C-alpha cells in the first residue's frame, strides 16, 4: 500500500482527528511564506529589516508607519482562496472525523473553506482593534486606509489582532489546543517545519495512536511519526479523502 493509501486507512479508523498546520498550508493558495529565502531577501532589500523584526511588537510601537506599509503589502492577501488542503479539512470536519484545526496562519482560509472549529494560535488579520478604547475594526477599513490607521472614536492607534514577535500566545487558545491534542487518536501535522516555538511544542501533548507528518521538507519530529509524507499537503489530503 502506498503512503496516501495508508493515510486513507488511518483516517477511516480514526474518530478523533486533530490537524495542526503552518505556513505551508497557505503557500498553496499563493500566500508567500515571509520566512522563506525570497521573503527574507525582499524585506531586507526594500526595508532594511528582516520580516521577524518588522512583525515584532517592539517594531510596531517604534515604527508604526513602516510596519503598516509592510503589513499591507506582504501580510494581507484578501484575494487568496482556500486550496485543496483547506477544503479537505473542512470535509473531514463535516463527516465528523476532524474535531479541530489548530493553525499558525492568520489568513482566515480555513474558515473560508467551511471549517468551524479553528484555533488560531497567532490571531487573525480579519480582526483589528483600537489600542486605547478597544473598538473593533474590520480588515477592509485598515486595508483601505493610508499610513497609520486611527480610531474614529478616540484617535488611538488601531492594531491587528495578531500575535506579534515578542508577545505571548493567548492562554485560552493554547489551553484549548492542548485539550484537543491530548484527546485526539490521530494528529495530522502539515505545512510546518515544527521549529517555531511555543506553537511547535504543542505536539508533545499528543498521546494518541497515529502521528502523521505531511510536509515538503523533513522536520525534527519525523522519527517519532507513524507516517511521513514529503509532498504537497493539498494533493495528499485531496487524494486521501477521495473515497470517504
Residues serving a catalytic function are: 122
Residues 6+ apart with CB under 8 A from 171: none
Within the chain, where are the H helices?
A: 3-13, 23-27, 37-47, 51-54, 57-62, 64-70, 84-94, 109-113, 139-143, 171-183, 233-240
3-state secondary structure of 48: coil
Cis amide linkage into residue 67, ω under 30° from 0: no
Residues 6+ apart with CB under 8 A from 179: none
**Residue in this structure with the C-alpha cell 482562496, named with its chain if needed:** 81
Strands 227-229, 186-190: pairing kind: unpaired
- CA torsion sign, 179 to 183 to 188 to 189? positive
> Which residues pair with residue 20 across a beta bridge?
102, 189
What would the grid cell of residue 93 be?
470536519
Q: Provide long-range contacts, Cβ within 8 A and 24+ apart, for 34-37.
A: 34/74, 34/75
Amino acid at each position: 500500500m502506498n503512503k496516501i493509501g495508508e493515510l486513507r486507512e488511518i483516517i477511516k479508523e480514526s474518530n478523533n482527528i486533530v490537524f495542526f498546520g503552518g505556513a505551508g498550508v497557505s503557500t498553496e493558495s499563493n500566500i508567500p511564506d515571509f520566512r522563506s529565502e525570497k521573503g527574507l531577501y525582499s524585506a531586507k532589500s526594500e526595508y532594511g529589516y528582516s520580516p521577524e523584526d518588522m512583525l515584532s511588537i517592539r517594531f510596531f510601537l517604534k515604527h508604526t508607519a513602516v510596519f503598516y506599509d509592510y503589513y499591507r503589502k506582504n501580510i494581507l492577501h484578501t484575494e487568496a482562496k482556500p486550496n485543496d488542503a483547506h477544503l479537505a479539512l473542512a470535509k473531514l470536519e463535516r463527516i465528523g472525523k476532524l474535531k479541530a484545526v489548530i493553525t499558525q496562519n492568520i489568513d482566515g482560509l480555513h474558515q473560508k473553506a467551511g471549517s468551524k472549529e479553528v484555533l488560531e494560535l497567532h490571531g487573525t488579520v480579519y480582526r483589528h482593534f483600537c489600542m486605547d478604547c478597544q473598538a473593533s475594526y474590520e480588515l477592509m477599513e485598515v486595508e483601505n486606509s493610508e499610513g497609520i490607521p486611527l480610531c474614529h472614536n478616540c484617535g488611538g492607534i488601531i492594531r491587528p489582532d495578531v500575535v506579534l514577535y515578542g508577545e505571548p500566545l493567548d492562554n485560552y487558545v493554547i489551553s484549548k489546543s492542548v485539550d484537543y491534542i491530548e484527546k485526539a487518536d490521530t494528529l495530522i501535522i502539515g505545512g510546518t517545519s515544527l521549529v517555531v516555538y511555543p506553537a511547535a511544542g504543542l505536539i508533545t501533548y499528543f498521546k494518541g495512536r497515529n502521528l502523521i507528518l505531511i510536509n515538503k521538507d523533513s522536520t525534527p519530529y519525523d522519527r517519532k511519526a507513524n507516517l511521513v509524507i514529503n509532498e504537497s499537503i493539498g494533493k495528499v489530503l485531496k487524494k486521501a479523502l477521495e473515497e470517504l
